[in-house]
Structure 1
């Protein structure tokens, strides 16, 4: 339980540092993870471009500046590895703006409990409201969504 609380605290503190820094680079924060793998801690920061897709140069620049800001503010006890990368083609949908940008695109949604006998839904995100999303004509209450992400369709 202590590790989960620590992870949540670190993520919140890193987000506060990262958001304005990334905005100054015309990048947006997608997600922050702080996880222990084996005996090592990893801080993973996923970014995307605001007006264009993120590239390797953007990741390198963000990593360098974020590393300096984290060293200066020191929100993380102990040693860790910093990784800055793109969320990839199957980017998670976390924030309201993520859902809004995904309207008309193919998505994959998993729910905490079955809806009409299903827990996984894939198809075009047709509509988003504060209370629900509509994927391939299936209405899914927002409070039942466990995870959602863009989904690549191979033809």
Structure 2
């Protein structure tokens, strides 16, 4: 797990080691964990079922269980807010399996160092080969070493929204008659034509 983007900073990796067993015992997977400082320190945990999706009630249960573990382990000095949430539709991609699962979808990827003179890439995921994430950009399909990826997330598109709604319907989380309310959703595609640099 430490070789993925679930937890980048040392404290995040330590926190992941503490909370992951509890989250997994409850039948969920840790997608990302971040300890963020600001006016008030916040521990953000993104989690989901192995087949995708999570409900508000699940987040509340996970929050209570994780809070109990953190009270005992006490890895964070001072007070903090705990946020447990789903990754969302335009989710971060943090594990190699995420890049495989969302093959064919648009993605933004930031590299930790320059690759062929650039750090940012936007294109369509073409899967994974060994330890490389394949992405089709304007110049063609390239492979990015997973270890050089600093951040990656899906681009919110109509196709992605439709897939998410279909998944929720399949899981019985929404009904056919509820789908009509999503017909008028417009996605923000203004950044799709941005020049990547």
Superposition TM-score, scaled by structure 2 size: 0.65
Deviation per residue, 1:28-68 (Å, 9 max, x gap): 10111111112x21111111121341111111110011001
CA distance in structure 1 between the aligned counterparts of 2:115 and 2:120, rounded to whole angstroms: 8
User: 1:27 — aligned with what?
Assistant: 28
User: 2:144 — aligned with what?
Assistant: 141
Query: Comparing both structures, which one devotes a greater share of its residues to strand?
Result: 1
Point out the more displaced range, 141-150 or 50-59: 141-150
1:150 to 136, 151, 154: 154
User: 1:91 — aligned with what?
Assistant: 91
Offset, 1:119: 4.5
Stretches of structure 1 lacking an aligned partner (at least 5 in a row): 1-6
Superposition TM-score, scaled by structure 1 size: 0.81
CA RMSD of aligned residues (A): 2.3
CA contact (8 A) 1:113 1:144 kept: no
Structure-to-structure mapping, 1:6-155, within 5 angstroms: 8-38=9-39, 40-111=40-111, 112-113=113-114, 115=116, 119-136=119-136, 137-142=140-145, 143-154=147-158
CA contact (8 A) 1:28 1:49 kept: yes
Stretches of structure 2 lacking an aligned partner (at least 5 in a row): 1-7, 159-186, 188-197
Structure 1 residues 84, 119: CA separation in 2 closer, same or farther (over 3 Å shift)? Answer: same
